[in-house]
Structures are given as C-alpha cells and as structure tokens.
Amino acid sequence: MLSKFTKHLIITAKLKALHLLLIFFSSAALEVEVGGGRKVSDFSTVRMLYTIGIRGIFWRFELHRGGQKLLIPILLSRDLNPVLATGAFVVPTSIYFILKKFVFKPYYLKREKQKALENMERTATQVQEARKAAAKAQQLLENVANRKRNKQQETGGLVITKAIYGNHKALKKRDELRETNDELASQVLDVTLPLNFLVNDSGQLKLHDGVKKSGIMGFCDPCPGEPKQLHVEYTYHGESYEVAVDDYEELIIPQIAHRV
Ligand SMILES: *[C@@H]1O[C@H](CO)[C@@H](O)[C@H](O)[C@H]1NC(C)=O
C-alpha cells in the first residue's frame, strides 16, 4: 500500500486523456511504483500498479467507482529476484499494450465513429437547409465569380481551381472523396466559386482570422460540431499551389510557401 510517507514525487503523464501513468518514488521506503489506469465508464476507473521496493514485488489492482475504491494487492515475492521483477513488469505491460492495440483502440474508434454518425443524423435537416441556402448564394455569385476568374486567367493571376470546406477528417481522405463515399462527401462543401468571387482586382484573396468560414457568402456548415478545414488549390502565374487552413485561421493567397 502507498503509505503516508511514500508520497514524495508524483509524476503524472496524461496519455490520450484516458491512460494515466503514475510513478511514485519514495526515499523513505525505497519503492518505485509504475502503473496505468483506464476509465471504463464515466464513474469507474481501473488501475494496475507494479511496485518494487524493499518490501518486495507487488501487483496492485484498483477499482475506483464513484467515491469507492477497491484495492487488491498481490504479493509476488518478498525478495528481489531480478527475473521475477522483470517478468512481473514486462508481462502485464505487454498484455496491456496488446489489448490496447487490438481491443481498446478499435473499440474507441468504433464508438467515436458511432457518435459522429449520430451527430450527422441529428443535424441532417439543419445541414440540408444550410446547403440549399449556400447553393442559392453561390448561384447569385456565379456571374461575377466567373467573370473574375476569366479575367484572372487571362492575366495569369490568381485562379482558385478547387476549394473544399468541411470536416477535416473527410478532407484528409480527399482521394476517397473523388470516388463515391457518400458519408465523407456529405461532410464537405465545394466552395471554389465563392472563393473566386472573393479574389480582388490585384489578384489576391484574404480571409480574416477569428472569423469562422461557414459564415462566408456561398459557404455553409456541412458538419456542425465537427472540426473543419478549408482546403484550397489554386494557380498563380500558371504555377500550382495548395494550402489548408483551420476554420478560424487566416488565409492569404497567393503565397510562395504554398507552391506544390
Ligand atoms: C487585394 O487584397 C490585398 C490583401 O488583402 C490588399 O493588400 C490589396 O490592396 C487588395 N487590392 C485591391 C485592389 O483591393
């Protein structure tokens, strides 16, 4: 057990919010404790700790639920047999990492995906309306946007060749988007036209920082609650450029740094 005088230094590293690593060093008891924990529900956490010190080698299982705590200490050995000491650490650690890779992680990924799907279903009508409004706005901008684009094209200025806005995960899988992936495609919006509309006479485009992009005319929010990005491909003086910015990030193009 972790006695009163055992708490001299606690290093807590938070790994992916769910996995805690605790290391206790005690000068008085000469004990090192290493362990990991995992939240199994909103109220309960399980932890396993490995302790090695002058009192021997222990495993300790802990179940925290609400305010209650169940401790199961297992004494493995009174003396510090190096083989046992190593094995008692390595075996459960390996099992943990194997479980994490093949059981916990797939489970959490699945649950996250499920949540995203539920969110999509919940906001489907809202998104549908917003898309309609955006399409209407794009229609209004179309003539001017095309005129500007043609003018830029003639002078070798700034032409937005492809711009998409939406779920950053969906944008990352852009290649799949070109094929038919409805679930991903429904979370992005083509904004090539409104961006060409925003290119000014000197062949530049600026979107201010701190302003979310779904509010720009011809845009809408295709995935409420999800982190979004704007991905832009453009040409300038006949060269190709590419850039991605977060929803609230500033965008100034053209820029040499974006050249591909
Ligand atoms: C075009 O936009 C850039 C960047 O915001 C600005 O520096 C420039 O003065 C603008 N040019 C015109 C003609 O509005």
CB 92 within 8 A of CB 49: no
Nearest 10 degrees: Cα torsion 87, 22, 107, 109: -130
What pLDDT sits at residue 177? 55
Joined tokens for residue 21: 């690593």
User: What's the rounded Cα separation, in Å, for the pair 47 and 115?
Assistant: 26
Q: Is 200 in the pocket of ligand 1 (CB under 6 A)?
A: yes
What pLDDT sits at residue 246? 94
What pLDDT sits at residue 4? 36
pTM for the whole structure: 0.65
For residue 200, the ligand 1 atom closest to its alpha carbon is 1
Q: Is 255 in the pocket of ligand 1 (CB under 6 A)?
A: no
195 CA → ligand 1 middle, Å: 15
What pLDDT sits at residue 176? 60
What pLDDT sits at residue 13? 31
What pLDDT sits at residue 254? 95
What pLDDT sits at residue 1? 41
What pLDDT sits at residue 92? 86
User: Is 134 strand, coil or helix?
Assistant: helix
Strand 158-167 relative to strand 44-53: parallel, antiparallel, unpaired?
A: unpaired
CA distances in angstroms from 104 to 39, 90, 155, 175, 190, listed in the order given: 11, 19, 56, 29, 36
Tens digit of pLDDT for each residue in 165-208?
999 888 877 666 555 566 677 889 999 999 999 999 999 999 99
User: What's the rounded Cα separation, in Å, for the pair 141 and 135?
Assistant: 10
Segments in the chain below pLDDT 70: 1-29, 174-183
- Mutate which of 152, 155, 195, 206 for ligand 1? The one with the most ligand atoms within 8 Å of its CB, which is 206
Q: Counting beta carbons within 10 angstroms of the beta carbon of residue 249, is it exposed (0 to 12), middle (13 to 18) or buried (19 or more)?
A: middle
Joined tokens for residue 70: 């169940």
What pLDDT sits at residue 34? 85
